């Protein structure tokens, strides 16, 4: 059974290490999407209000095990301070003198953020003893540990797996919320239940398709992966993204879905462009004539078409449970964002549970002007959410007493 905050008892005056996921996108040192920072607030506020001395640890990006200024958590400390409405001490290292001083100077109800965990090779090492040695250094800063970085619970990393074995450890409220939602998607969905999958590759979604196919009523396919589905049905797709080695797998999905009475909904039209560029020439084409453009076989499909967007939106808005993971097109380029925007807007009209499955989908809805509270839930962990939905065991949850 998952251990939660309440099981720690009184935390007044105690040092509590919290593993958050503050892996936010940065552009020239400026946070472009603070969703993960805001998602950490309920747990941090709960601890502050109890009078705990809070030590936050997180990673950001993929540095190579050494300090790298472009991956510093300093901008996150500033944003966290603004959102909490109180100062956040920032330590310029993770387990060095700066961190030790920051922790030692904490008073009840105060918070410190330590520098990027991945500036240390021990965080992501394949060597368990190296990870444990690093976790031991972090553990010296705390009397208890709260795991609240859902986006990393599928990783065996020092702060996710070894650290909770060294201190009294529980899950934070964010992880509790994520699990409640994901259980609804896998165990108790209200029907009709639609899953919308996009993004670039079928190979990234194989596990989730196999695990959810027996559980859903309809599966809507967009993004770059749609062209492998179309190719499996014999359509020509030009120079669109295509995983030829997945065509037989897709044929099996189509056959399995038919046997189960699950409807796999594929696009009827797509936006075909001359190049991967915002100012490229482009045309809307039915799926049977993708190559019948001035671009011929060199044309690239970069979004679902308007008829498809309308059909997907109708299906989504009419469902009681919807899980969406992956954009419908290259939403970062304005001419190819309409499909993603249509699906996002339809999710806001779901009379039931609408879940945006983290990662690119979460970035897309915010970039397109939607607010988080327009959806039932925006997951903070794309990879972790998918692995949960695939039925995989997540080490960062198992160490907290969770059994799936």
Positions marked active-site: 36, 201, 359, 383
Residue 160 in contact with residue 138, Cβ under 8 Å? no
Give me Rg for the CA atoms of the chain: 23
Residue 232 in contact with residue 250, Cβ under 8 Å? yes
* Three-state secondary-structure class, residue 32: coil
Residue 167's Cβ-count burial label (10 Å; 0-12, 13-18, 19+) is buried
The upper half-sphere exposure of residue 191, i.e. CA atoms within 13 Å in the direction of its Cβ, equals 7
Report the alpha-carbon distance of residue 300 to residue 271 in Å, rounded: 8
Known binder of ligand: residue 205?
A: yes
Known binder of ligand: residue 15?
A: no
Known binder of ligand: residue 358?
A: yes
Known binder of ligand: residue 281?
A: no
Q: Which of 177, 194, 180 is nearest to 343 (CA)?
A: 194
Known binder of ligand: residue 303?
A: no
Known binder of ligand: residue 132?
A: no
Known binder of ligand: residue 62?
A: yes
CA distances to 86, 92, 109 from 167, in Å: 27, 24, 20
Report the alpha-carbon distance of residue 302 to residue 186 in Å, rounded: 31
Known binder of ligand: residue 23?
A: yes
Known binder of ligand: residue 243?
A: no
Known binder of ligand: residue 143?
A: no
Known binder of ligand: residue 60?
A: yes
- Supply the DSSP symbol for 318: T
The upper half-sphere exposure of residue 328, i.e. CA atoms within 13 Å in the direction of its Cβ, equals 34
Report the alpha-carbon distance of residue 327 to residue 305 in Å, rounded: 13
Known binder of ligand: residue 359?
A: yes
* Three-state secondary-structure class, residue 267: coil
Known binder of ligand: residue 244?
A: no
Q: What is the token pair recorded at 6?
A: 């309440």
**Dihedral (CA of 153, 157, 161, 164) sign:** negative
Residues at the binding site for ATP are: 205, 301, 332, 358-361
Residues at the binding site for substrate are: 21-23, 36, 59-62, 118, 155
Residues at the binding site are: 21-23, 36, 59-62, 118, 155, 205, 301, 332, 358-361
């Amino acid at each position: 059974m998952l251990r939660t905050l309440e099981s720690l008892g009184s935390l007044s005056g105690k040092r509590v290490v919290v593993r958050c996921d503050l892996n936010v996108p940065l552009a020239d040192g400026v946070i472009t999407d603070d969703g993960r920072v805001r998602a950490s607030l309920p747990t941090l506020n709960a601890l502050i209000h109890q009078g705990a001395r809070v030590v936050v640890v997180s990673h950001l990006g993929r540095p190579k095990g050494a300090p790298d200024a472009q991956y510093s958590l300093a901008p996150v400390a500033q944003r966290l301070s603004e959102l909490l409405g109180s100062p956040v001490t920032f330590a310029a290292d993770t387990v060095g003198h700066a961190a030790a001083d920051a922790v030692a100077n904490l008073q009840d109800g105060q918070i410190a953020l330590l520098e990027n965990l991945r500036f240390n090779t021990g965080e992501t090492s394949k060597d368990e003893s190296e990870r444990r040695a690093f976790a031991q250094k972090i553990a010296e800063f705390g009397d208890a540990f709260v795991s609240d970085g859902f986006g990393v619970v599928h990783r065996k990393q020092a702060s996710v797996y070894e650290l909770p074995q060294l201190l009294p450890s529980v899950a934070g409220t964010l992880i509790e919320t994520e699990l409640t939602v994901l259980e609804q998607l896998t165990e108790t969905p209200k029907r009709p239940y639609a899953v919308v999958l996009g993004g670039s590759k079928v190979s990234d979604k194989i596990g989730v398709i196999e695990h959810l196919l027996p559980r859903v009523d309809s599966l809507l396919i967009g993004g770059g992966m749609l062209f492998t589905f179309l190719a499996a049905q014999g359509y020509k797709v030009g120079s669109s993204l295509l995983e030829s080695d997945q065509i037989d797998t897709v044929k099996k999905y189509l056959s399995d879905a038919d046997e189960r009475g699950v409807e796999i909904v594929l696009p009827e039209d797509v936006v075909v462009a001359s190049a991967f560029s915002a100012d490229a020439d482009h045309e809307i084409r039915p799926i049977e004539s993708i190559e019948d453009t001035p671009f011929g076989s060199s044309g690239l499909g970069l979004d679902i078409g308007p008829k498809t967007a309308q059909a997907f939106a109708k299906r989504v808005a009419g469902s009681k449970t919807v899980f969406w993971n992956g954009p419908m097109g290259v939403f970062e380029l304005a001419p190819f964002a309409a499909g993603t925007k249509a699906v996002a807007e339809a999710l806001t009209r779901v009379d039931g549970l609408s879940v945006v499955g983290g990662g690119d989908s979460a970035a897309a809805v915010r970039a397109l002007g939607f607010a988080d509270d327009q959806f039932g839930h925006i997951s903070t962990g794309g990879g972790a959410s998918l692995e949960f939905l695939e039925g995989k065991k997540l080490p960062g949850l198992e160490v907290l007493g969770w059994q799936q």
